[in-house]
Structure 1
Amino acid sequence: MWADGVPNLVIGLREGLEIGLVVSILLAAVRKAAPGRSTAPIWLGVLAAALLSLGFGAVLAFSRAELTLTAQAVFGGLLSLAAVGLVTWMIFWMRRTARGLSAELREQVGQALSVGTGALALTAFLAVAREGLETALFLWTTVQASGDTVAPLVGAAIGLAVALLLCWLIVRSSVRLNLGAFFSRTAVLLVVIAAGVLAYGLGELQTAGIIPGRNWLAFDLSTVLSTDSWWVSLISGITNLSPRMTVLQVATYLAYAAIVLYALLRRPSAEHSTVDKAEPVARKPLPRWVYVGAAVGVPVLAVGAFALLTSSSEASTNQQVTVTATGCASDWTGTAAGRSTITVLNKSGHGGEIYLIRSTDGAVIGEIEGLGPGTKRSITVDLTPGQYAWRCLVPGELDQVSPAASVNGGSGQAAVPAVVPVSEKDLQGPTESYTAYVADKLTALATQTDQLRARLAAGDLDGAKAAWLTAQLTWQRIGAAYGSFEDLGNAIAGLPQGLPEGTADPGFTGLHRVEFGLWHGQGAAELTPIAAKLHEDVLALQQKLPTIKTDVKDLPLRAHEILEDSLRRGLMGLSDQGAGAAYAETAADVEATNAVLDRLADLLTARRPDLLPKARAQLSELAESLQGRTNSAPLADRQRVQSRLGAALETLSAIPTLLEVRAA
C-alpha cells in the first residue's frame, strides 16, 4: 500500500530540506568570504557524508538479515528506540537553533577558510553527516515498522527529490518559503510518526521477550476490521499503528505524543547563545588528492568497520537455490554445518510457500511464506549434519520436493528445533471430537436456559441469578471465543458495545442481556421474554451445529484464543454486565482450554514433549488462583491471577504455530 510511503516522504522532505539548506548556506558563505575560492571541498565533504549515510543504511539492512528471528526483533526494537530519541532531539534542536543556524555555519566556514581546504571539507562533512545518519536510521526503522520496502523507499526518494528542488528554487530566489512555519508544522506530523515507531519498537522487544506484556492486549481489531482495506492501510501506513496493540504500546504511544507535542507547541523560552571566535591558524594546504581520497576512503572504512562489528560472530555460508515452474531447488547441493544464509529465487511465475525440510521425517527447519514471482528472499538457519531438502508449494504449478543433499562438518550450534508438518487430515479427528464436546455442552445449556426461563416466569429473581450463572459458565466451557457461531453466537452471548442504543438496544439479547436486567433492578416480567428468546436461540444453534462447516485449522488457534479472549473481554471488565463473575467465567475458560488440549495432546507430544505438561501445570495454577475469588479480591490475589494468566498465554501462544497446516 502506497500509504506506507507517506511517513518516509515527510522524513525525506524535511531532512532533505535541512541538508539542502545547510549545503546552500555553506556554499554562500564560501562565495561571500572568499569569492575566488573553489567550492570543491564543500562538495567533497557532502560526498563523504552521503557515502557514510548510504553505507550505514545498507549495513543496517544486511546486518539484520544475518540474525535469528529473536535477534532481529531485538535489533529492530533497539534501533527504533534510538531513532525516536534522535528524531525527538532533532525536532527541538531545529526549533532552538533554526534562527541562528545560518550565522553559526557562516562562522564555522570563516574559521575553516582560514585553516585550509581540509577544514572546509570537514565542516561540510560534519554538518551533512549529522543529518544524513539521522535520516538513514529513521528511514530504516519506518521501513521495518511498515513491513514493506518499495513504498517507503519510493516515498523517501520523492521527499528528497522535492526537497532538493525546493532548495534549488530558493537559492535562485524563484520560491519564497516560510521555513519556520514549514518546520513547525512538519514537526507535528513527525511526532505522530515517531510515536508509531516507538510503539513498533516496544512491540518488537515484547515479541523477543525482552519486555513483558506481549499478550496483554489493549485491543485487537483484526477480527472485526479487514486489515487489507484501504483506510486501515492508510492509517497504519501514516501512523505505524496496527489493529492489534498491547497495553504498553498504546500507553507509550499516547504518553510520548502528549508530552512531546505539549513541549513542542508551547512558547519556547528565550535563549541566548554566544560563539567563541577562534584565532585563525595558517597552515600549508595538503595536495588535492589527499582530500579526495579521504572523502571517499574514510566513509568506506567506517562502514566496513561497522559491518564487522555488527556481523554475526559465527561464520555464515551463503547459497542460492531456484524454484521454477517445473523444478524445486534442483540446484540444491547442500552446505556446511553451522550457520547458513540461503537465498531462494522464485522463477515459477506464481507465488508460493517454500520449506527447508529434514529428509528423514519431513520436519520443517525453515520456511518462506508468500514468495512472489520473480522475487527472492533469504533465510538464515543453523544446521546440524544430516540430509536436507526443499519442498516447494506453488498453487496450480508445483508441489515437489527437491533431491536431498548432505550437510556435513561439525557445528557448535544446538540442533534446530524442527517442526513435523501437520496436515488437515491430522486435525480432522481432534476437530470432530471437539465438535462432539460442544454438542454435549449445548445439550446441557439448552436445559439450563429453560430452567432460567422458568425461574423468571415464576418471579424467582434469586433463583434466576443462580440459574443464569450456571448457564453462563456452561457457555464459557464451550470455548466460543472471537465471534464463534456468528449470528447465533452473538444472539446468545453478544455484548452491548457498538450497538446504537447500548444496553437499551433491541439487538442486545442473550445471556448478558439477562445478566444486565437481573443486576440492574429489572423485573421478572420484563426479562422472561428475553430468557425465552435465549432458550430458542440455544435450541437453534444445537440444531444447526451438525451443519456448520468447521475449519480444522481453527482448533490449534482456539487453544490460545479462548484465554486470550477471556483476558481481553472478561478480566478487563468489557463483558461484565453486573454479576461480577469474570473470575468464575475465566475458570470455565480454563476448562475449555484443557478440553482443546485434550484433543491436541497426541500432536503436541509428538512435536514438543515438554509443551503440554508445562501448559497443564500453568493452567492448574491459574485455576487454583481463581478458585473462590471475585473481581473484588485483594490486589495481591488479582495480580497473581494476571501473572499466571499471562504465563499460560505465553506458553499456549506456541501451539498455533506448532500445529499450523503447512501442506495439504
Structure 2
Amino acid sequence: MTLAIQLALHHRGGDGPAVPNIAGAGAAPAATSSAGAQAHVYGTGADAQDVASLASGAAGVAIAPLRPSAFTHPIAEYRAYARASARTLAARAAALERALATGDTGTSRAAWARADSSWRRVGAAYGALGALGDAIGGDAGGLARIEHGLWPGAAPRHLLPAARRLRTDVARLRAVLAGSAITPLDYATRAHEILEDVQRDDFGSTVPSDSGVRATADGIAATRVVLRTLAPVLAGRGDALAVSRASLDRLAATVAKIRRAHGGAYPRVATLSRTEREHLLGELGAALQGLSGVPDELETAVPPRPARIPAR
C-alpha cells in the first residue's frame, strides 16, 4: 500500500522549522532508545520517539498539527464579515429605538427581533469583545433588557433609555472588531459553540421572546460563515467539513419546513407541535455532533505522548 507522507510545520508555542510527520499504512514503527534518553529533534520540544510515534500513529494522531498562522486568513475574512454585520446591526438598533418611540408593542417586538438576529449573526466574536459584548448581548445587556421589557408587555417608551445605550454600544462595535483578539483555538471552537449556545440558552421556559426557532436559523447562518472561512484549512484533513455542512443543511431544511407550516414566520417554541419540537431539537443535536469534529481537525499542537512503559 502506498505510503502517505505529510510534512507538519509545527513548533510548540508558535511557528517554527518543519518537522516531518509520516502517516499512513507502512509508516515507520516508533523509535526505541538503548541509552535511556532520546535526541531532541531540532526546532521542537519533542524527541525522536515523539516524532516516530506520531509518524506511526502510535500517539493516536491521524493528522498533522497546524501552524497558528494557518488561521490568519480565515480570521481576517471573518473580521471583514463581522464588521459588515455590525453596520447592519447599527442600522437595526437605530430602527429599534424609533419603533419603541412609537409606543407600539408589535412594531417594537419585530424591530427587536431584527436587531437580535443581526447580533447573533456576528457569531464567532462573542467571547473576544469583552465588556462591550456583554453590554450588547449579555444576560444583562441592552438586547436582553429590551426583550425582558417587551415580553410580556412593558410600555415600549419606557425602554427607550436602554435602546439609546444599546445604539451607543453598537456604534463602537466595528472599531472593536477590527482589533479584538481572536486566537486560533477560539476560532476553531466557535464553529461548534455558536449552535451549542442556542441549544443551551434559547429553548428554555425562561426565554421571554421564546425565539429558539429564529435563534437556530441565525446560528446556522453564523456557523456557515465560520465554516466557509475555514474550508481551505480543513481541506484534506478529514471529513468534518463535509459532515458539518450536510448536518447544517438538514437542520436548515427542518427550520424552513417549520416556517412554512406557520405561515412563513418563525414561530414561538411554545407553539410548535410535539413532533416539530422533537424533530428540530433532534436535528440540532445531530448538527452539533457533526460540528464537534471541526476543532479536532484544527489542532495546532501535538497532544501529549502517552507515558512510556518502564523497561523490566
Asked if these proteins are the same fold (TM beyond 0.5), I'd say yes
* Structure-1 residue corresponding to 2:145: 513
User: C-alpha displacement at 1:387, in angstroms?
Assistant: 3.6
- Asked whether the 8 Å contact 2:100–2:157 carries over to 1, the reply is yes
**Between 453-462 and 554-563, the greater mean CA deviation after superposition:** 453-462
Amino acid at match of 1:511: L
* Structure-2 residue corresponding to 1:659: 298
* Structure-2 residue corresponding to 1:446: 90
Amino acid at match of 1:644: E
Gap change, CA 1:646 and 1:441, over 3 Å in 2? same
Gap change, CA 1:613 and 1:437, over 3 Å in 2? same
- Asked whether the 8 Å contact 2:128–2:180 carries over to 1, the reply is no
Distance in 2 of aligned mates of 1:573 and 1:469: 18
Is residue 560 of structure 1 aligned with residue 192 of structure 2?
A: yes
Is residue 526 of structure 1 aligned with residue 158 of structure 2?
A: yes
Gap change, CA 1:405 and 1:525, over 3 Å in 2? closer
Q: Which structure has the greater CA radius of gyration?
A: 1
1:466-486 deviation per Cα after TM superposition (whole angstroms, max 9, x unaligned): 111111111111115764412
What is the correspondence of 1:48-63 to structure 2 with a 5 Å cutoff?
none
User: C-alpha displacement at 1:420, in angstroms?
Assistant: 2.4
* Structure-1 residue corresponding to 2:241: 612
* Structure-2 residue corresponding to 1:549: 181
User: C-alpha displacement at 1:401, in angstroms?
Assistant: 6.2
- Asked whether the 8 Å contact 1:573–1:582 carries over to 2, the reply is no
| Residues paired across the two proteins, number | 265
* Structure-1 residue corresponding to 2:263: none
Distance in 2 of aligned mates of 1:539 and 1:405: 53
Is residue 385 of structure 1 aligned with residue 29 of structure 2?
A: no
* Structure-1 residue corresponding to 2:20: none
Root-mean-square deviation (CA, aligned residues, Å) is 3.2
User: C-alpha displacement at 1:654, in angstroms?
Assistant: 1.3
* Structure-1 residue corresponding to 2:309: none
* Structure-1 residue corresponding to 2:109: 465
Match of 2:6, SS state, is coil
User: C-alpha displacement at 1:418, in angstroms?
Assistant: 1.9
Distance in 1 of aligned mates of 2:138 and 2:103: 25
Larger relative contact order, structure 1 or 2 (CA cutoff 8 Å, min sep 6)? 2
1:242-285 deviation per Cα after TM superposition (whole angstroms, max 9, x unaligned): xxxxxxxxxxxxxxxxxxxxxxxxxxxxxxxxxxxxxxxxxxxx
Match of 1:624, SS state, is helix
Gap change, CA 1:446 and 1:383, over 3 Å in 2? closer
- Asked whether the 8 Å contact 1:442–1:542 carries over to 2, the reply is yes
What is the correspondence of 1:138-537 to structure 2 with a 5 Å cutoff?
360-362=5-7, 384-387=25-28, 399=45, 402=48, 418-480=62-124, 483-495=127-139, 508-537=140-169
Distance in 1 of aligned mates of 2:113 and 2:24: 54
User: C-alpha displacement at 1:383, in angstroms?
Assistant: 7.4
Gap change, CA 1:405 and 1:660, over 3 Å in 2? closer
Gap change, CA 1:531 and 1:544, over 3 Å in 2? same
* Structure-2 residue corresponding to 1:175: none
Identify which of 589, 607, 614 aligns with 2:219. 589
User: C-alpha displacement at 1:630, in angstroms?
Assistant: 3.4
Identify which of 255, 264, 276 aligns with 1:626. 255
- Asked whether the 8 Å contact 2:4–2:24 carries over to 1, the reply is no
- Asked whether the 8 Å contact 2:231–2:241 carries over to 1, the reply is yes
Amino acid at match of 1:493: G
- Asked whether the 8 Å contact 2:241–2:294 carries over to 1, the reply is no
- Asked whether the 8 Å contact 1:359–1:389 carries over to 2, the reply is no
The ranges of structure 1 where at least 4 consecutive aligned residues each deviate by more than 6 angstroms after the TM superposition are 403-406
- Asked whether the 8 Å contact 1:389–1:401 carries over to 2, the reply is no
Amino acid at match of 1:640: H
1:517-555 deviation per Cα after TM superposition (whole angstroms, max 9, x unaligned): 112321132111111100101112222222222213211
Distance in 1 of aligned mates of 2:205 and 2:109: 19
Gap change, CA 1:476 and 1:573, over 3 Å in 2? farther
- Asked whether the 8 Å contact 2:77–2:229 carries over to 1, the reply is yes
- Asked whether the 8 Å contact 1:477–1:592 carries over to 2, the reply is yes
User: C-alpha displacement at 1:461, in angstroms?
Assistant: 2.8
Distance in 2 of aligned mates of 1:616 and 1:599: 13
- Asked whether the 8 Å contact 1:478–1:592 carries over to 2, the reply is yes
Gap change, CA 1:573 and 1:613, over 3 Å in 2? farther
Amino acid at match of 1:386: A
* Structure-1 residue corresponding to 2:210: 580
Match of 2:169, SS state, is helix
Distance in 1 of aligned mates of 2:244 and 2:178: 31
User: C-alpha displacement at 1:398, in angstroms?
Assistant: 5.0
Gap change, CA 1:547 and 1:483, over 3 Å in 2? closer
Distance in 1 of aligned mates of 2:251 and 2:128: 24
User: C-alpha displacement at 1:604, in angstroms?
Assistant: 1.5
Distance in 2 of aligned mates of 1:383 and 1:581: 47
Distance in 1 of aligned mates of 2:82 and 2:295: 20
* Structure-2 residue corresponding to 1:539: 171
1:278-304 deviation per Cα after TM superposition (whole angstroms, max 9, x unaligned): xxxxxxxxxxxxxxxxxxxxxxxxxxx
Is residue 638 of structure 1 aligned with residue 277 of structure 2?
A: yes
1:583-606 deviation per Cα after TM superposition (whole angstroms, max 9, x unaligned): 101110011111110011122222
Work out the percentage of aligned pairs sharing the same amino acid: 33
Distance in 2 of aligned mates of 1:583 and 1:464: 19
Amino acid at match of 2:86: L
Amino acid at match of 1:631: V
User: C-alpha displacement at 1:573, in angstroms?
Assistant: 4.5
Match of 2:210, SS state, is coil
- Asked whether the 8 Å contact 1:481–1:561 carries over to 2, the reply is no
In the superposition, the TM-score normalised over structure 1's length comes to: 0.37
User: C-alpha displacement at 1:618, in angstroms?
Assistant: 1.0
Gaps of 5+ in 2: 13-22, 32-37, 260-266, 303-312
Match of 1:571, SS state, is coil
Match of 1:580, SS state, is coil
Match of 1:607, SS state, is coil
